[in-house]
Structure formats: structure tokens, C-alpha cells
Amino acid sequence: MADTQKVLDTVIIGAGPAGLTAGIYAQRALLSNVILEQEAVGGQIVLTDTVDNYPGIPHANGYTLADSMRKQAEDLGAKIVSEQAVSITRDPETNLFTTKTAEKTYVSKILIVAGGATPRKAGFEGEDQFAGHGVSYCATCDAMFYRNKPVYVVGGGNSAAEEALFLTKFASKVIIVIRKDHMRAQASVQRQLEENDKVEIRYLTSVVKLEGNQLATEITLKHNDTQETYSESYEEGGFGVFVFVGRVPATNLIKDMVDVDDHGYVKSDEAMSTKTPGLFVAGDIRQKMLRQIVTATADGAIAATSAAAYLGQHIAS
């Protein structure tokens, strides 16, 4: 066995809403655990200024919400360490998981992977600068900030089309910017977009850059055939850019132990179990309908509860 301390009941990878909630429930089920986090505790929610749809905490600041989840987990005894999991193996004889970080090796009976998924960036100039201040990757989260304002939607796939349709309920105009000469969305959604007066679809077009001060004031686009560029200006904060060009689930370390769907999300059942006994997933990393804080926390609670049940049934302490 590794150069290690005791065998933990569970290692939790990721201290986003799913991992922190798994930590809270693991503590309450008296499972010894450690939560590994490679970046900021809170995961994606620390990127957002305002969270308006988490029940019970209206107008929450993302950072404050993340910090109160962290505090709740730590107050209950959860241990969060700033380490990145770099490899995971499972011993076929003992069924124990070994998780290595640069600093340490952790051995556990259960592994809960809550590593999330990161939105893929479109790659235009100013995208990072205005992320959260004009550039968004989540219509459900941010559409209401663009009520009666024009928005650009970048992407021509299904999720871009569906999110664009959702945005028509809020925005004054939805300009869909598609790199290719066609959309790759369900025919019915595409038809709804084409028939909606608020929607303008610009094929063979890419966003080149966003410019402004605190908030963006100008967007520059390019026609991909003619290479002609043109800019459109607004008052500060008078428009938004929603990027939907795919998401990358953090499945690298477990890809040989789980099944994934066509988009790379981990297939799991209602108990958050995967095809590997003792390996559970929670949050945005999973194949599911809605990737939000409320569903991530629910997954984390279920994963830790399932882990406790699994330990009781399969593994003697």
C-alpha cells in the first residue's frame, strides 16, 4: 500500500457545490474524508457575481455563497486541502482507491468525483476580460441581466440553439453567430428560432473581439468567407455575449473506470453510482438535464448518502 496514513472512507475530488455538499453529508454520516481542490473553493460559482436562482438565498453573491458552503462543511469537520488529484487507481484485490496529488497519496474505500465541467471558450479577444461582465456561459444564470437588451449567442450546436431560444424571452434581440454555414441543432428548435422575430442568425461569422472599459461597449465580428470585419457599438453594458461552444467535463482521471455519453459526461444512476463499484460522481461532471448549483448540491448529497450505504453493505470497517 502507498506511503500513507490510514485508509479513509472517502476521498472527494472537487470543492464546488457538489463536492462541498458531499463533504457535508459525509461528515454527517461519520465517513472519514478529505476534499481535494485544485483551484478556488466553490468551483464555478466563484466566477459569478450574482446567483439569483438558489432557493432561500436571493441575490446571492457567488463568492459569498461558495464561502458559506465551505464554512458549513468545515464547521462540520470536513477537511478541504488545496491539492490537485493527478492520478487515480483502484486495486482489483482490495478494491481500495489510491488518489495521488503532487504532495500526498490518499487511499480510500470510496471515491466521489465532483470535478465539474468547464465551459469551452470561443477564443475571441476580450473574452476573459469581460467574463462575468458581459460575457456569459450560462443563459439560465444570466439571461435576466439582459432584459430588453440585445445579446449575441456564439455557437451553432443544440445547446446554443436552445439557450438562444430561452434568451428570446428576455433580450430585445438575439443575434446568433455561427462559424459555419449551417446550424447543428434539432430541426424543431431551429425552426422556432427562424420564425422568431427577435432572432437574427449570422452564418459564416465569428466574434473577433470585445472592447470597452469596465463593461463592453463594442463587438467586432468577421465574415469567415470574405474576411471582412465590422464593429457594432452600444452604451456601456448595453449588450451581452453568450458563448455556447461546448463544455469539457473533468473526466480525465477516471475515464477508464466510467462510461461517458457522446459529450463526455459520466453516465451514472440515480444513486450517483458508476460502473465501478465504490466510484460515485456528482454535479456538472454527470450526464444530466440541468447543470446548476441546486442540482449539483443535490447530487453531492445523494453521492455521499449512497457512499455510506455502500460502505455499510459491502465493506467491513
Distance CA 158, CA 197 (A): 20
Q: Which is nearer to ligand FAD, 137 or 183 (CB)?
A: 137
C-beta contacts of 27-32 below 8 A and 24+ residues apart: 27/73, 27/76, 27/77, 27/78, 28/76, 29/304, 29/305, 29/307, 29/308, 31/110, 31/304, 31/307, 31/308, 31/311, 32/6, 32/8
Q: Which amino acid is at 176?
A: I
Choices 148-156, 176-184, 272-280, 291-299 (CB under 6 A): range interacting with ligand FAD: 291-299
110 binds ligand FAD (CB under 6 A): no
Under the criterion CB under 6 A, does residue 72 sit at the interface with ligand FAD?
no
Question: Whose Cβ is closer to ligand FAD: residue 15's or residue 31's?
Answer: 15
Smaller CB separation from ligand FAD, 54 or 166: 54
Tell me the C-alpha distance between 242 and 213, whole Å. 19
Interaction between residue 85 and ligand FAD (CB under 6 A): yes
CB of 119 to ligand FAD, least distance (A): 6
285 vs 21: CA distance, rounded Å:
15
State the nearest-atom distance from the C-beta of 123 to ligand FAD, in Å: 16
19 scored as a contact of ligand FAD (CB under 6 A): yes
Q: How many residues bind ligand FAD (CB under 6 A)?
A: 38
Contact call for residues 246 and 157 (beta carbons, < 8 A): yes
- Name the nearest CA neighbour of 11 among 105, 92, 95: 105
Burial of 224 from C-beta contacts in 10 A (0-12 / 13-18 / 19+): middle
Binding mask 223-252 for ligand FAD (x = CB under 6 A): ---------------------------x--
Which of the following is catalytic: 142, 256, 269, 284? Answer: 142
- Asked if 205 and 226 count as a contact pair (C-beta separation under 8 A), the reply is no
* 279 touches ligand FAD by CB under 6 A: no
Instruction: Give me the catalytic one of 49, 128, 138, 299.
Output: 138
- Report how far residue 266's alpha carbon sits from residue 283's, in angstroms, rounded to the nearest whole number: 10
Near ligand FAD by CB under 6 A: residue from 1, 4, 30, 39: 39
**Residue number, 73 or 85, with CB nearest to ligand FAD:** 85
Nearer residue to ligand FAD within complex by CB, 21 or 190: 21
Q: Does 13 bind ligand FAD (CB under 6 A)?
A: yes
Active-site annotation holds for 141: yes
Q: What distance in Å separates the CA atoms of residue 262 and residue 62, rounded to the nearest whole number?
A: 30
The CA distance from 266 to 271, in Å, is 13
Site for ligand FAD in 114-143 (CB under 6 A): 114-116, 119, 132, 137-138, 141
Residues recognised as catalytic: 138, 141-142
List of residues contacting ligand FAD (CB under 6 A): 13-19, 36-39, 43-45, 47-48, 51, 53-54, 84-85, 114-116, 119, 132, 137-138, 141, 250, 253, 283-284, 291-294, 296
